[in-house]
Amino acid sequence: MLLRRLTEAFGPSGFEHEVRAILQEELEQYVSVWQRDALGNLIACKEAANGPRVMLAAHMDEVGLMVSHVDDAGLLHFHKVGGIDDRVLVSKPVFVGKERVPGVIGAKAIHLQKPEERTQVIPHRSLFIDIGAKSKDEALEKVKIGDYVVFATKYDEFGQGLAKGKAFDDRAGCVVLAEVLKEEFNFPLYGAFTVQEEIGLRGAGVAAYAIEPDMAIVIEGTTCNDVSGMDEHEYSTVLGGGPAITFMDTASIGNRAMIRELVRLAEENNIPYQFKGTVTGGNDAGRINVSRAGVPVVAISIPCRYIHSPVSVMSLADMENTIALIKLFLRSIEGGFRV
């Protein structure tokens, strides 16, 4: 199953090799022309003589950690790669480096804490990864400074039609993009699997420059906080509510014509959809939007509870509906579309 393979793959920002290889293998028989660039973006090029140049983008990278120091006791200290809340790190198993050396992030025993410590966040600079090495030399036999680290989370399905795993942001988007690329359209279509989104939307900008699209859709995994203790007006998205269309966030404003067409198609075809209710955050759409002389963009997202943590939760139906809606949109522009 592609979603399982992709979410269990090792790919923090700047180290997307495994994800790239899986996607290329998955699409081998559907895509004949691949373009790569200096940053590591993987672009599936489905050329056609006429019609608008359409770019679809999903990012391959995930949030993670990077080994910054190995101390004399053989413990690994680390930097964060991308936006991780320090509070999710404690008491978790991780994999260090592409050989996946197992490690754990522990914490001082509760017995040794002062009561007030229990209400304080342990900053990530005070945490460390234990790989069972008893000295610096022993640790350096297995890992090196600069090694990336990912959460050791297994993909699984649970509850009613839900999946749990790491990196749904944005491997779920990669699955959607891969499924769409398995079909043929009568206009030039470019599927960009981008790098380095989590550390500043780095890959999408250069990919858009190279593709020079007439319009772009960004496929994301986005925040979802429809849980107890939140008021409904605070929800960014609702799990199971269908693909979430972004009208605005901190990085871009969605193209109105594209949004209108998506809504029309969803309603006519009984595909559930929702608008993202918050305007915080930003994604690759922000960079593509301002590429060259400007590109009309819209972001369509799969809601993910507990995003950017070791274990996020998504609805498989939301992913299927996102695939269906994007395919419908692409079919509709086969007949011509003006943004």
Q: How far is the CB of 203 from other proteins (least distance, A)?
A: 20
Q: At 116, phi and psi to the nearest 5?
A: -70, -25
CA–CA distance, 183 with 193 (Å, rounded to integer): 17
The reply to whether 200 sits near other proteins by the rule CB under 8 A is no
By beta-carbon proximity to other proteins, the closer residue of 31 and 299 is: 299
The CA-atom distances, in angstroms, between 114 and each of 69, 104, 109, 231 are 28, 23, 11, 34
Q: Count Cβ atoms below 10 Å from residue 113 Cβ, excluding itself.
A: 12
Per CB under 8 A, the list member of 132, 137, 269, 331 interacting with other proteins is: 132
Verify binding: residue 121, other proteins, rule CB under 8 A.
Answer: yes
Given candidates 32, 126, 135, 269, which one binds other proteins under the rule CB under 8 A? 126
Binding to other proteins by residue 78, rule CB under 8 A? no
Tokens of 121: 């966040």
Q: State which amino acid sits at residue 207.
A: A
Stretch that binds other proteins, among 13-21, 35-43, 125-133, 208-216 (CB under 8 A): 125-133
CB atoms within 10 A of CB 93: 13
Q: How far apart are CA 18 and CA 312, in angstroms?
A: 20
Q: By CB under 8 A, is residue 156 in contact with other proteins?
A: yes
Q: Is 277 in the site for other proteins (CB under 8 A)?
A: no
Catalytic residue among 197, 198, 220, 261: 197
Pick one of 85, 183, 268, 334: the residue that binds other proteins (CB under 8 A): 85
Give Rg (Cα) of the chain: 21
Identify the three-state secondary structure at position 159: coil
Buried b (16+ CB within 10 A) or exposed e, 263-277: eebbeeeebebbebb
Closest to other proteins by CB, 138 or 334: 138
Determine contact, residues 3/164, Cβ cutoff 8 Å.
no
Task: Tell whether residue 39 is a contact of other proteins (CB under 8 A).
Answer: no
Among 100, 137, 146, 159, binds other proteins (CB under 8 A): 159
Which of 149, 161, 284 has its CA nearest to residue 222? 284
Instruction: Please indicate whether residue 197 is annotated as part of the active site.
Output: yes
CB 227, min distance to other proteins, A: 6
Q: Would you say 138 or 268 has its CB closer to other proteins?
A: 138
By the criterion CB under 8 A, which residues form the site for other proteins? 71, 73, 75, 83-88, 90-93, 102-113, 118-122, 126, 128, 130-134, 138, 142, 152-153, 156, 158-160, 162, 164, 223-225, 227-229, 234, 236, 278, 280-281, 305-311, 313
Q: Catalytic residue numbers?
A: 197
